[in-house]
Amino acid sequence: MDYFKQRRAYRNFKMYEASVSNGQNNLYRELLDYANDEGKLDVQFRMKNSALLSLTGLSEPGLDKARNSLVQLGLIKYIKGKKNVKPPEYRVVKLYGRSTGYPTSNPTTNEKSRSTGLDGVGQPVGQGGGQPVGHKELTSTDLDLTGTDHDEDDAGVTRGDVIDKWTNLWGFPNAIARPEIDEWLDALPADVVDFAITIAGEHQVKATGSLKYMRAVIEGWQKRDISTLDQAKKAAEEHDKRMKSERGAKPTRAKETLPDWAQSGATPTAPRTKLTPEQQAEISARIARLQQNGKTEQEATT
């Protein structure tokens, strides 16, 4: 199976044949990417529920619902596993090469024709079909080949990417944070929420303040009707410029000029008052008397 042909066929499937929810899309893309990475596009493979929960950001009921929908849409084959014994088994159904062409095909194809129109691409994989595939622990996927309904480019961001980034910064989201993250992802594209986490990381927000910080960012964007990555980036840039401008503005102070005596290190002296002749004469007489008294005392002691 050619991965890129399958991707194009899947895009056309969503455009012309059926509506696929975010959860269903994330699950299918993770299964397709894993099968491609492991060279198992044409065979069945096993994958742990815990790995899919982490990668897609779905809850357990959400995973069950999305998986059943993909089976009903004829996108995957699924065999239930045994808890703590063996993981569930999957196989990606080949979509390209069918007789139905795009975009001239009828976009109103009914559900029954969709579910049965894939018979020519292979029979469902049963327990005895083919060689059993040994389980291999999932370690990573190619993030450049995942995406969401908001962005069908190869560099799209999934809900799983958002959870991974949160986990890398602050640890796995707890029972308080996780529901709010899911609400944000329901209201905004995954790449917008992912960018909000990036901003928090750049500002070195600690784990204890992460939820409060994220609430402020997301709620601020929602109040301003920001719903795309470009709008979020522009808002963040404007905020940074505004904060930089406020930090750079300093109050002007009047320049104080020190007096000459302070600048030179000298001490201030009292201004001199000019004496009258009478005052000068009186002072001279006092000095004479003091000098005479001093001489008298000196003669008495000798």
Query: Long-range contacts: 164-170, Cβ < 8 Å, 24+?
Result: 164/54, 164/55, 165/194, 165/197, 165/198, 165/201, 166/197, 166/210, 169/197, 169/200, 169/201, 169/207, 169/210, 170/206, 170/207, 170/210
CA distance 223 to 67: 35
CA distance 137 to 298: 115
Contact 182, 57 (CB under 8 A): yes
Q: Looking at the DSSP assignment, which residues form a beta bridge with residue 77?
A: 91
The confidence score (pLDDT) of residue 267 equals 57
pLDDT over 90 for what percent of the chain?
30
Residue 282's pLDDT band, with cuts at 50, 70 and 90, is confident
> How far out from the chain centre does Cα 146 lie?
17
In one-letter notation, the amino acid at residue 98 is R
Mean per-residue pLDDT, 245-262: 63
pTM given for the model: 0.38
The confidence score (pLDDT) of residue 155 equals 45
Residue 40's pLDDT band, with cuts at 50, 70 and 90, is very high
Mean per-residue pLDDT, 165-174: 89
Residue 17's pLDDT band, with cuts at 50, 70 and 90, is confident
pLDDT of 257 above 80: no
How confident is the model over 86-108, as pLDDT tens digits?
899 999 999 988 765 555 444 44
CA distance 201 to 143: 19
Residue 147's pLDDT band, with cuts at 50, 70 and 90, is very low
The confidence score (pLDDT) of residue 109 equals 40
CA distance 178 to 163: 9
CA distance 195 to 173: 17
> Residue 150, CB half-sphere, CA atoms under 13 Å: how many?
18
The confidence score (pLDDT) of residue 41 equals 92
Q: Which residues contact 121 (CB under 8 A, 6 or more apart)?
A: 93, 94, 95, 97, 98
The confidence score (pLDDT) of residue 110 equals 42
pLDDT of 259 above 60: no
Residue 151's pLDDT band, with cuts at 50, 70 and 90, is very low
Residue 137's pLDDT band, with cuts at 50, 70 and 90, is very low
**Residue where the block lists tokens 């609430």:** 215
Helix (H, G, I), strand (E, B) or coil at 50: helix
CA distance 141 to 266: 78
CA distance 134 to 206: 41
The confidence score (pLDDT) of residue 148 equals 39
The confidence score (pLDDT) of residue 275 equals 77
Residue 150's pLDDT band, with cuts at 50, 70 and 90, is very low
Paired tokens of 252: 């002007």
Residue whose C-alpha is closest to residue 13's, from 109, 153, 80, 77 = 109
The confidence score (pLDDT) of residue 215 equals 93
pLDDT of 123 above 80: no
Contact 79, 91 (CB under 8 A): no
User: Where on the phi/psi map is residue 97: left (φ > 0), alpha (ψ -120 to 50), or beta?
Assistant: left
The confidence score (pLDDT) of residue 234 equals 92
Helix (H, G, I), strand (E, B) or coil at 44: coil
Contact 115, 72 (CB under 8 A): yes
